Amino acid sequence: DTAVSQTPKYLVTQMGNDKSIKCEQNLGHDTMYWYKQDSKKFLKIMFSYNNKELIINETVPNRFSPKSPDKAHLNLHINSLELGDSAVYFCASSQVQYSYEQYFGPGTRLTVT
Amino acid sequence: GNSVTQMEGPVTLSEEAFLTINCTYTATGYPSLFWYVQYPGEGLQLLLKATKADDKGSNKGFEATYRKETTSFHLEKGSVQVSDSAVYFCALASGSARQLTFGSGTQLTVLP
């Protein structure tokens, strides 16, 4: 069983569209994250949720909105997509009570044309 | 604030060569330190970790020692293989925010 899964793996869309990326973890972790990785492989934290509560909200455009329906899911919705949103988006999870170690999903490659 | 500085790549080595990827950090308190590896087209995987000074993390022939006096956590492997070709990220975590701070990543290519 995949520990942290994301769908879709690839997403190609046009500027101005709205899209969502879904993430699910079956590790029983209490915290989930979204990262953005640019073309130079630089990783930037975007959001973090602990037990469905937002705890990290870095400076990202408010076109990006995370939603956590339960502890096992953290979805990322993006409105009015722009060319600069093209990147690989990674979901991760951890059990922060015991460890800082994070487990990553396989990534979603978003291409905005 | 916390920061991680990692050796810039890309690094290209021949198979069986010795590998060192330098990593230094700045942090408040007593951070935990990590090396993550990202194989082509995949997500990041934890390679090894160390949670206190002088701890040595090791996995798959890779090692790194937490050096508080030099604020470093250099990654080493005695004999690299083609299958080690990947991007390697140094990271630290500290404090109540439970947030990982990543270095910029080092691309390693091992040639047969």
Give the closest-approach CA distance of B43 to chain A in angstroms.
Answer: 4
Task: List strands edge to edge, sheet with A73-78.
Answer: A4-7, A19-25, A73-78, A64-70
Per residue in A23-48, pLDDT (tens digit) is: 999 999 989 999 999 999 999 999 88
Q: Hey, is the C-beta of B3 within 8 angstroms of any chain A C-beta?
A: no
Are B63 and B56 spatial neighbours (Cβ–Cβ below 8 Å)?
yes
What single DSSP character describes residue B82?
G
Q: pLDDT band at A106, cuts 50/70/90?
A: very high
DSSP for B2-48, please give it: -EEEE--S-EEEETT--EEE-EEEE-SS--EEEEEEE-TTS-EEEEE
Per residue in B14-46, pLDDT (tens digit) is: 999 999 999 999 998 889 999 999 999 899 999
Are B32 and B91 spatial neighbours (Cβ–Cβ below 8 Å)?
no
Res A99 pLDDT > 80: no
pLDDT of residue A56: 74
**In angstroms, what is the C-alpha Rg of chain A?**
13
Tokens read off for A41: 């492989």
Per residue in B42-74, pLDDT (tens digit) is: 999 999 999 999 999 999 999 999 999 999 999
Inspect the interface and report whether the beta carbons of A55 and B98 lie closer than 8 Å: yes
Burial class (CB in 10 A: 0-12, 13-18, 19+), B87: buried
Rounded-to-integer distance, Cα A22 and Cα A6, Å: 6
Res B9 pLDDT > 90: no
Question: Which residue among A40, A48, A104 sits closest to B44, beta carbon to beta carbon?
Answer: A104
Closest to B34 measured CA to CA, from B13, B12, B51, B15: B51
